[in-house]
Structure 1
Amino acid sequence: MRQALVVRGGWEGHSPTQATELFIPFLEASGYAVRIEDSPEVYAKGEDLDVDLIVQCYTMGKASHEAVMGLRAAVAAGIGLTGWHGGIADSFRESSDYLHLVGGQFATHPGKHPDEVHGDQSDYYLPHTIDVLPEAADHPIVAGLESFELTTEQYWVLTDSLCDVLATTTHPAPDWHPWHRAVTCPAVWTRHWGAGRIAVVTPGHSVDVLQHPTVRTLVERSMLWVSR
């Protein structure tokens, strides 16, 4: 039986417990024994973690230098790492070593027109498209999937060319924002790190978004693809 480690916590706005519970039955049905931790400090064990897969849902928060370096070593040794939304792309903001590992950092999620805001999370729920790239169509994570529409947070991420991008999303340039042209960002990407694999799915702000059939498929396939 393969071993999966679920690390969850951080900002409660992303419902880390409910979100990860959504996928634990899938992991168990796929032949994994699932262990749950509520602190990233478990990563300090590095390659001695003795798992095949890490599923992280830990938005913001802090991780010690030892934990981050342990995570880097674990992935380099072949342990797969995956997650969604801020649980992986907005974790441990103070650590450039973590950012270097994951390859993409949440920068913002543009909002509605100022006349339409209400001061809550829905101010950032915008209709947008996740575009599966034709050149990535044969990748196991996106094979057979088509571009799709969501109304939720649209992540603007800062990234680098070591990422293999499978899907993108394009932010428009409405006149109430300071940028002057549309900006396309990765929405789903993978990354090789030593002997390990990383996959990031940026949709997933709330449980209902994770229950979208295509988003859920992306997350589940990412778990299997990165696993040692």
Structure 2
Amino acid sequence: MKKALIVWGGWEGHQPKEVAEIFRGQLEQEGFHVEVSDTLEAFADGEKLKGLDLIVPAWTMGRIEQAWVNNVSAAVQSGVGIAGCHGGMCDAFRENTDWQFMTGGQWIAHPGNDGVEYDVNIKCSSSPLVEGIKDFTVKTEQYYLHVDPAVEVLATTRFPLAEGPHSLNKSVDMPVIWTKRWGLGRVYYNSLGHQANIMEIPVVKELMRRGFNWCAEGKSLAPSNQAQGAYTGMQDNQL
């Protein structure tokens, strides 16, 4: 049985407890054994983290011990997946650039605040994570992020829609969903999820379900000579 850890907390405006419960239900339906924690001390045992298949952060803002970030990073490098949404993963610890490097981006603005109606445009891709998914419209916060150019973008949204100092720039397609690799681990992020009701939208829920499973499957596919330890720094063509 695959094992997942959900860690929730931080700013309550994102309803982290409620989002964590949605994620718990999804993962249990997929056959995971799920542990849920409301303290960052859940990241203190590095060896325990390496025994997981999936880590799901749902923690907005706040501060984290560097040693705990190192533990999560080492676990992901060894093959454990990490997947999350909205500010719970990519606005978790604003001062910690190591966390941002691992997860692939950092929130910087949501012009128009909550209630912006916008399209999520699925990118043509061979990825099974978006196979059969059509473009859809949501009404929620539209995240503007600083994004790692190494990510594989699976969905985007067009800016600008709301007025602001950014609106005189040319239109840009901002990533909404992406994947990346961190060592031997898989990373999945979806910028939707300002509050729990957004994560209950069927298409959003399905996208997260696929992301969770994809990340968790990575550990079993990691090279056997690397899966027991952290990534050694070899390039992809050396694995």
Q: TM-score scaled by structure 2?
A: 0.86
Letter aligned with residue 4 of structure 2: A
Q: 1:77 to 1:21 in 2, by over 3 A?
A: same
Paired position in structure 1 for 2:204: 215
Unpaired runs of at least 5, structure 1: 112-122
**1:4 is the counterpart of 2:8:** no
- Other-structure match for 1:124: 114
Q: Deviations over 1:50-87 (max 9, x none)?
A: 21111111011111100111111010011100011100
- AA of the residue aligned to 1:198: V
1:177 aligns with 2:164: yes
Give yes or no for the alignment of 1:22 onto 2:22: yes
Within 5 A, what are the aligned runs for 1:129-208? 129-134=119-124, 136=125, 138-172=126-160, 176-179=163-166, 180=168, 181-208=170-197
Q: Matched residues in 1 for 2:190 and 2:145: separation?
A: 12
The answer as to whether partners of 2:122 and 2:155 remain within 8 angstroms in 1 is: yes
Q: Distance in 2 between matches of 1:37 and 1:173?
A: 37
Please give the residue correspondences for 1:61-80 in structure 2 after superposition, counting only pairs within 5 Å.
61-80=62-81
The alignment status of 1:88 with 2:89, answered yes or no, reads yes
8 Å contact kept, 1:5–1:55:
yes
The alpha-carbon deviation at position 42 of structure 1 amounts to: 2.3
Secondary structure of the corresponding residue to residue 86 of structure 1: helix
Q: Does structure 1 retain, via aligned residues, the 8 Å contact 2:101–2:148?
A: no
- 1:115-150 residue CA offsets vs partner (Å, 9 max, x unmatched): xxxxxxxx531110111001x2x3121111011101
Query: What value does the CA root-mean-square deviation take over the aligned residues?
Result: 1.3
Partner of 2:179, secondary structure, is: strand
Name the aligned partner's letter for residue 179 of structure 2: T
Shift in CA distance, 173/224, structure 1 to aligned 2, threshold 3 Å: closer
Give the counterpart letter for 2:117 in structure 1: P
Question: Are the aligned partners of 1:41 and 1:63 in contact in 2 as well (CA < 8 Å)?
Answer: no
What is the deviation of 1:208?
1.4
**Is the contact made by 2:69 and 2:99 (CA closer than 8 Å) also made in structure 1?**
yes
- Give the gaps of 5 or more residues in structure 2: 220-239
Which structure 2 residues correspond to residues 49-64 of structure 1 after superposition, within 5 A?
49=49, 50-64=51-65
